[in-house]
């Protein structure tokens, strides 16, 4: 039967570089040191062959499939692969029943690897349950989606969930250099790759080792050789191979801080087009979208405040959405949040209020709490004079004219933009009910000084 379908000697060579370079041992796996470094729980379980069912959750190209295959080889168990896209209930039952018979008759255990397990429907996932529960198979599910939302709870409860991270740049560079000299890689080619090209491929692949390896192979096989037959891959060839130009943006240098500064100032300055451009630059350069979302939350309070109280809610929701869906879809969420905040009415009144009040607390005498506002919910409080508080809801308009702080200083000066117009009207009304009005009606423009922080 084997003679009918002979294995062509060039078949392996025609496989993509990422497939040829797939690790066969834990020592060859790059990244994920938080779960497979010596002494870590998963590594100890693999080496002791005491493995429970697993769900590996992480972005594309971080090593989920690789880790599953290494586990199968290290533990010497039978290995079967299924796909969340192509698998059917009937096909799955055949694999599972075969695994059960293997365990009962031969005493051999089986690893069932299900790629994209989140794509299994409920009946497909339910089919796995009794076999996982009885130990007929050790399930390893791989998913790019949060399993706590996209995988059935009973299956998750019977598995250990490990979150894999994007492969760090330095690890990808090490992997690319290994591929140049590895017999299964590009050792047969006379290739020189500049450090700049390595760094570019590693940086723009966004932690996807498979993408970086395949881009390196494209760069090598499409670059014309020099007269001596050698191939030189520089930044230009690297950019062409991965179809992504280098963006000058070092996360630890001035360009990072300058760009986020320009972004925040554009939103503050109500220029949505400029803000979107700087957002695009950061995303293309690989900036952490959660960092951008956090800065928008700060801006929502610092520069919009009560002029549009919905801004802080939208910005916070944007961060939650970014963490939930990840890139590239998160760019849509960040674009919506950026344009909303850029076009919202602006006010820094709340920012200035807390800054001024904290300055007074730090530099002046700390004011005592008036006796009628002190805690009166314990025996003996009346003997200490904690009496006289008037419940605000008992007053007309739910307002009582009483002292809430032993100072006449006004900290909060609402502006005249957006919802703060309504707040001003409300404060003026309450002031009219006081015997001794506190607000200065001669200064209704609010504060116009610079905000407390630069960005």
pLDDT of residue 328: 87
- Return d(Cα 296, Cα 318) in angstroms, integer: 9
Task: Write out the DSSP string of 204-237.
Answer: HTTT-HHHHHHHHHHHHHHSPP-TTS-EEE-HHH
407-450 pLDDT tens trace = 888 888 998 989 999 998 988 898 888 888 877 644 444 444 44
User: Considering only CA atoms, which of 32, 79, 39, 40 is closest in space to residue 58?
Assistant: 32
Q: Is 328 helix (H, G, I), strand (E, B) or coil?
A: coil
- Return d(Cα 299, Cα 455) in angstroms, integer: 8
- Return d(Cα 281, Cα 263) in angstroms, integer: 10
Contact 162, 141 (CB under 8 A): no
Residue 107 burial (C-beta neighbours within 10 Å; 0-12, 13-18, 19+): exposed
**How far, in whole angstroms, is CA 322 from its chain's centroid?**
6
Beta bridge partners of 114: 82, 141
User: Considering only CA atoms, which of 297, 264, 294, 288 is closest in space to residue 278?
Assistant: 264
DSSP state of 69: H
Average pLDDT for residues 271-294, to the nearest whole number? Answer: 90
C-alpha dihedral, 87 to 90 to 95 to 100, nearest 10°: 140
- Return d(Cα 269, Cα 343) in angstroms, integer: 9
The 10 Å CB-count burial string (b at 16+, else e) for 138-165 is bbbbbbbbbbeeebbeebbebbebbebe
For β-strands 110-115 and 231-233, DSSP reports them as: unpaired
Lowest-confidence pick of 41-50, 138-147, 374-383: 374-383
- Return d(Cα 229, Cα 122) in angstroms, integer: 56
Residue 443 burial (C-beta neighbours within 10 Å; 0-12, 13-18, 19+): exposed
Query: Which residues, in sequence order, are CB contacts of 215 under 8 Å at separation 6+?
Result: 201, 205, 238, 241, 242
Answering whether pTM is above 0.85, one says: no
Please report the domains of the chain, with CATH numbers, ordered by start residue: 32-163 (3.40.50.300), 169-242 (1.10.8.60), 254-343 (1.20.272.10)
pLDDT of residue 248: 54
Length of the chain in terms of residues written: 455
78-128 pLDDT tens trace = 888 887 666 567 778 888 998 899 889 988 888 889 888 888 888 888 888
At residue 71 the predicted structure's pLDDT band, cuts being 50, 70 and 90, is confident
pLDDT of residue 450: 41
Q: For residue 55, report the phi and psi dihedrals to the nearest 5 degrees.
A: -125, 120
Q: Is the pLDDT of residue 216 over 80?
A: yes
166-212 pLDDT tens trace = 899 999 999 999 999 999 899 888 999 999 899 989 988 878 899 89
Q: Is 246 helix (H, G, I), strand (E, B) or coil?
A: coil
Indicate the average pLDDT of the chain.
84
- Joined tokens for residue 8: 């062509």
**How far, in whole angstroms, is CA 148 from its chain's centroid?**
16
Number of Cβ within a 10 Å radius of residue 240: 16
Q: Is the pLDDT of residue 8 over 70?
A: no
11-60 pLDDT tens trace = 556 789 988 998 888 888 888 899 999 999 889 988 887 888 999 998 88
- Return d(Cα 251, Cα 230) in angstroms, integer: 34
- Return d(Cα 417, Cα 414) in angstroms, integer: 9
The 10 Å CB-count burial string (b at 16+, else e) for 395-404 is eeeeeeeeee
Q: For residue 283, report the phi and psi dihedrals to the nearest 5 degrees.
A: -70, -40
pLDDT of residue 179: 93
pLDDT of residue 451: 41
Classify the phi-psi angles of 76: left when phi > 0, otherwise alpha if psi is within -120 to 50, otherwise beta.
Answer: left
Residue 128 burial (C-beta neighbours within 10 Å; 0-12, 13-18, 19+): buried
Number of Cβ within a 10 Å radius of residue 9: 7
At residue 1 the predicted structure's pLDDT band, cuts being 50, 70 and 90, is very low
């Amino acid at each position: 039967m084997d003679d009918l379908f002979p294995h062509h000697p060039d078949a392996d060579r025609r496989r993509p570089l990422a497939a040829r370079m797939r690790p066969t041992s834990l020592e060859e796996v790059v990244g994920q040191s938080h779960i497979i470094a010596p002494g870590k729980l998963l590594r100890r379980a693999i080496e002791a062959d005491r493995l429970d069912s697993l769900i590996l959750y992480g972005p594309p190209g971080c090593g989920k499939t690789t880790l599953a295959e290494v586990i199968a080889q290290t533990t010497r168990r039978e290995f079967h692969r299924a796909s969340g896209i192509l698998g059917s209930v009937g096909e799955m039952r055949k694999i599972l029943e075969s695994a059960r018979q293997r365990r009962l008759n031969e005493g051999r255990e089986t690893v069932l690897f299900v790629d994209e397990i989140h794509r299994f429907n409920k009946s497909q996932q339910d089919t796995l349950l009794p076999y996982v529960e009885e130990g007929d198979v050790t399930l390893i599910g791989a998913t790019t989606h949060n399993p706590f939302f996209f995988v059935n709870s009973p299956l998750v409860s019977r598995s250990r969930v490990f979150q894999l991270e994007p492969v760090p740049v330095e690890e990808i560079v090490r992997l690319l250099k290994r591929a140049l000299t590895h017999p299964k890689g590009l050792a047969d080619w006379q290739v020189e790759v500049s450090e700049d090209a390595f760094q570019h491929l590693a940086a723009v692949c966004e932690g996807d080792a498979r993408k970086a390896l395949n881009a390196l192979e494209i760069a090598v096989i499409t670059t014309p050789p020099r007269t001596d037959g050698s191939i030189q891959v520089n930044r230009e060839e690297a950019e062409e191979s991965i179809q992504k130009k280098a963006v000058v943006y070092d996360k630890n240098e001035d360009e990072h801080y300058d760009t986020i500064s320009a972004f925040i100032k554009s939103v503050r300055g109500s220029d949505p087009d400029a803000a979107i451009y700087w957002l695009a630059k950061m995303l293309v350069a690989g900036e952490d979208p959660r960092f951008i979302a956090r800065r928008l939350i700060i801006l929502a309070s610092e520069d919009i405040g009560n002029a549009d109280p919905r801004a802080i809610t939208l910005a916070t929701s944007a961060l939650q959405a970014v963490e939930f869906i990840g890139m590239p879809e998160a760019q849509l969420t960040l674009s919506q949040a950026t344009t909303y905040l850029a076009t919202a009415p602006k006010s820094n009144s709340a920012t200035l209020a807390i800054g001024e009040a904290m300055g007074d607390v730090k530099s002046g005498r700390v004011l005592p709490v008036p006796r009628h506002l002190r805690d009166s919910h314990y025996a003996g409080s009346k003997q200490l004079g904690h009496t006289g508080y008037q419940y605000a809801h008992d007053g007309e308009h739910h307002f009582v004219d009483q002292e809430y702080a032993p100072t006449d200083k006004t900290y909060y000066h609402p502006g005249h933009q957006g919802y703060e117009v309504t707040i001003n009207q409300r404060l003026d009304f309450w002031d009219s009910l006081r015997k001794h009005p506190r607000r200065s009606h001669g200064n209704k423009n609010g504060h116009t000084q610079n905000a407390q922080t630069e960005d």
